[in-house]
Amino acid sequence: MSSLILPTAYLGGCIVTMSVFSYVYRRAKNVRTIEPWFPPNDAKEKYIALLNAEPAVPDHHLKSALLGRAMEGVRRVVAVQQEKPALGLLLRTGHIGDEIWQDFQVAEKETMHELQEIAQEANTFKEGWSKTLFTTASQMIEAEKQKEIRDRSNVRRAEEEEKKKPKQCECLEPEDKDAK
């Protein structure tokens, strides 16, 4: 009888140890970190830093930083609106999993919350400014896009002109027969 106690205790200890390991491993495996859909919002950080600056920053600096934050918010909303139909189709056809769709929905909610915060901040400066702020931010984004397109077309035009120019060859002058 006493000869069975030691092997039974050993077997029981092994089973308990394996069960605990299995439980901890499964929980660690199921923990999933949500990757941010967008990179960190530098415009928001800049605005918050100016807002919390010890010597009070003039209002025009804060308004400028808030406009930059609004521009980033508008960019993100446009990106969400453009990606939503495609992701919905991919989800319905089974090409992406529910995790990606959930990440996208979290990003969409965060973006909408960010826009609401921006509107509230804008209204602290002047009542109703949030309406014109987002219009101005959209116009500035469009102006930036047009400037990028113009710059790219200028670069392409310059490259094409370089290609069209006749190449000048540097021909060597014939050597004198006396030098040989």
Q: 119, 130 in Cβ contact below 8 A?
A: yes
| pLDDT for 169 beyond 80 | no
How would residue 34 be classed by pLDDT, with cut points 50, 70 and 90? low
40-94 tens-digit pLDDT? 999 999 999 998 988 888 899 999 999 999 999 999 999 999 999 999 999 899 8
97-141 tens-digit pLDDT? 888 888 899 999 999 999 999 999 999 988 989 889 999 999 999
Per the model's pLDDT, the better-predicted residue between 148 and 23 turns out to be 148
Separation CA 38–CA 33 (nearest Å):
15
Note the pLDDT of residue 4: 80
pTM above threshold 0.75: no
| pLDDT for 2 beyond 70 | no
Over 19-66, what HEC string results?
A: HHHHHHHHHHHHCCCCCCCCCCCHHHHHHHHHHCCCCCCCHHHHHHHH
| pLDDT for 157 beyond 80 | yes
Using a 10 angstrom Cβ sphere, with 0-12 exposed, 13-18 middle and 19 or more buried, the burial of residue 4 is exposed
How would residue 156 be classed by pLDDT, with cut points 50, 70 and 90? very high
How far from each other are the two terminal CA atoms of the chain, in whole angstroms?
113
